[in-house]
Amino acid sequence: MRRLIIAGNWKMNGDLADAEVLTTMVKNGVANLSGLEMVICPPSLFLFPLSEIIGKNLKHISLGSQNIYHEDKGAFTGEISGAMIKKICRYTIIGHSERREYFGEDSEDVSDKTKAAIRNKIIPIICVGEKKKTAESYKDAAKELKRDLKGVDKSDYAKLVVSYEPVWAIGTGRAATPEYAAKAITLIREVVGLKTPVLYGGSVDAENIAGFTRRAEIDGALVGGASLKAKEFIKICENAVKSKSFA
């Protein structure tokens, strides 16, 4: 059975004091929730201090990085590797649309980073999604994922998480409908199989999360701006758990 995952992508926001307060509040707020794995993906600078707040014995909260480099070490100024973070991060986001657009990352980069994550026993959260919405644009996500996974051993697909994030929905307040997302995710499952968790991302909040996670096809969410608000993020987690229990 696939697990329910709610991941928060903080992007480039906050300072260390903000990060410590937010992490502590969220950690305490979801302490009594069961059937959920929550992932916090802060800026890399904050990973170590936040790992000390979370501790090593909490199975329902994990840390994730927002990016890794495809090599484990070397003369790559400014990069962080899977080998550097594998003792504190269970996850890493790979192929986010902002990385693809602003930093020129392509499917070859995503494939190389995915292999690096798996090599270091870190779970990649691979982001895919179409830029513009049309009647059948949801089909583009599965095509993109096929390109991203070129060179990745199919036996490793169960070690992945995929997040379907239509670019037109990210940060716009215009989330996809659960039905539309489910169509895209059905095609994504044809690529990675039934064991790989697939999330939805794009303008997720406490009001709409249950509509997504109530669907059997959708295993959780990758949350952007709403994950920076402790009460909102906790409510997202609570509503997701409730929706699965009544699904």
Q: Which residues are catalytic?
A: 96, 165
Whether residue 242 contacts residue 17, with contact meaning beta carbons closer than 8 Å, is answered with no
Residue type, 147: R
CA distance 232 to 96: 23
The DSSP result for the chain, as a single string, is: -PPPEEEEE--S---HHHHHHHHHHHHHHTTT--S-EEEEE--GGGHHHHHHHH-SS-SSEEEEES--BSSSSSS-TT--BHHHHTTT-SEEEES-HHHHHHS---HHHHHHHHHHHHHTT-EEEEEE--SS--TTTTHHHHHHHHHHTTTS-GGGGGG-EEEE--GGGTTTS-PPPHHHHHHHHHHHHHHH-SSS-EEEESS--TTTHHHHHTSTT--EEEESGGGGSHHHHHHHHHHHHHHHHT-
Phi, psi of 112 (to 5 degrees): -65, -40
